[in-house]
Amino acid sequence: MPPTIPNRQWTSHLNGISNLTLTQTTTSHPATNEVLVRITAISLNYKDGETISGQFNHHAAVSLPSTIVPCSDAAGQVWEVGDGVTRWKKGDRVLALPYLEYKTGRITQEMLGSGIGSSGKGVSCEYRIFEEDALLPVPESMSDEEACTMTVAGITAWMAMNGQRPLGSPGGQEEVVLIQGTGGVSIQGLQIAKASGATVIITSSSDEKLARAKALGADYTINYKTTPDWDVEVLRLTSGRGADIIFENGGAPTTAKSFNCIRFGGLFNAIGYVSGKVDPKDEEKTNINVQAIRKNVILVGMLNGPRDRVVEMLEFYENHGIKPVIDRVFKFEEAKEALQYLWSGSHFGTVVVKVP
Ligand SMILES: NC(=O)c1ccc[n+]([C@@H]2O[C@H](COP(=O)([O-])OP(=O)(O)OC[C@H]3O[C@@H](n4cnc5c(N)ncnc54)[C@H](OP(=O)(O)O)[C@@H]3O)[C@@H](O)[C@H]2O)c1
């Protein structure tokens, strides 16, 4: 056996997507309890564009090296197993956890440092070694391209819906869920909420995307560009009661409106900040979503989900026959174009890179 295996990987100096470089390196063989995975599909997230552009700077506990291998969500195939590995064999299809140490309960500050594609080496490569318990099986019903969307976009949406309920008791019936935008987290949120029996209101800047959301089961759609007072519309649609659960993705310009249209005792999931981290009216004031996420406070500051919740979610997807929506699949060599496409916000659902 040759001592190393050739391994192409994308690297970033945190200076923008256009400066990503594809380099030829090598990987070693797996050590005890390790598994060498041949990456087959990578899902791209907003966070990846942010990290590569040097803007992922709101977690004091996460220190980034000056050069990183970006991206955290991948599916792949077990290529080689080290001594002592009991869970996996060559050929198994697997998913990687984006926070390698986050296995159950709530994430701790220390676990943030186990994030991959940021402090730790990411998955935009052909091969990567993982500890065996950082991997999960790919559900039979999903392709690798579909499965790789589950560990950030999927689990974030899952936790927004179910993270406050006891493990093993997904609910949703009778609830009105307000989802902002039509990106990766939002569309998985729509699918989960509809399969749970909830009523979904979704917002977007695009009527065409809203029509697609409607086709996926959204009950009500609001264009937040042509209806800037979308909070008032949510109140109207809910007879003044407000939404039970909000996927707050917008950040600075949307939080006040979300508070306006959430019901008394509702669940405000502070998930994102796609339209700004700072308050446009007060540059000194970091947006509430960012503050909530930073300390994972019970606002709820949503910060990914643990292994047992991923297992729970994958079962739910299997049982309901849910297929994650993939907007476009790019080739590995086109990762830059894929990230630029994601960063432009033109997509609906998830953008995936396929590794040969
Ligand atoms: N806390 C966590 O654990 C966690 C995990 C995953 C993601 N996130 C965060 O969640 C956010 C979404 O992530 P993602 O990966 O799903 O992003 P994405 O796929 O890049 O989605 C971006 C979408 O956001 C929508 N958007 C932009 N401005 C908006 C506004 N003012 N109001 C409503 N929607 C708006 C747009 O939808 P339209 O084109 O339809 O207008 C855009 O397509 C990001 O901020 C990300 O950092 C957090």
Q: Where are the alpha helices (DSSP H) in 124-174?
A: 144-147, 155-162
pLDDT in tens, 74-90: 999 999 999 999 999 99
Q: How many domains does the chain have?
A: 2
Q: Are 260 and 240 in contact (CB under 8 A)?
A: no
- Contact (CB, 8 A) for 28 and 129: yes
CA nearest 272: which of 354, 160, 162?
Answer: 160
How much is the pLDDT for 302?
A: 60
Is the beta carbon of 272 within 6 A of some atom in ligand 1?
yes
> Do 212 and 168 reside in the same domain of the chain?
yes
Using alpha carbons, select from 273, 180, 277, 161 the residue that is nearest to residue 221: 180
User: Distance, CA 247 to ligand 1 centroid (Å)?
Assistant: 10
- Say yes or no: 140 and 247 in one domain: no
Instruction: Let me know whether 169 and 99 are in one domain.
Output: no
Cβ neighbours of residue 279 closer than 8 Å, sequence gap 6 or more: 252, 285, 286, 287
The list of the chain residues with pLDDT below 50 reads: none
Q: Could you tell me the residue range of the domain that residue 195 belongs to?
A: 155-295
Check whether residue 135 and residue 183 sit in a common domain: no
Q: Which atom of ligand 1 is nearest to the CA of 186?
A: 16
Whether residue 307 lies inside any domain: the answer is: no
- Of 273, 295, 317, the last residue of a domain is 295
Q: State the distance between the two ends of the chain, measured CA to CA, in whole angstroms.
A: 22
Query: How confident is the model at residue 246, as a pLDDT?
Result: 96
Find out whether the beta carbon of 271 lies less than 6 Å from any atom of ligand 1. Answer: yes
Q: Which of 126, 3, 72, 46 is nearest to 339 (CA)?
A: 46
Tokens of 104: 């159950």
Q: Are 139 and 42 in contact (CB under 8 A)?
A: no
- Residue 235: per-residue pLDDT: 98
* Cβ-based neighbour number of residue 89 at 10 Å: 10
Is residue 309 situated within a structural domain? no
How high is the pLDDT of residue 282? 65
Q: Which atom of ligand 1 is nearest to the CA of 274?
A: 45
Determine the pLDDT at residue 303: 66
Do residues 8 and 24 touch, judged by C-beta distance below 8 A?
Answer: yes
The verdict on 36 and 115 lying in the same domain is yes
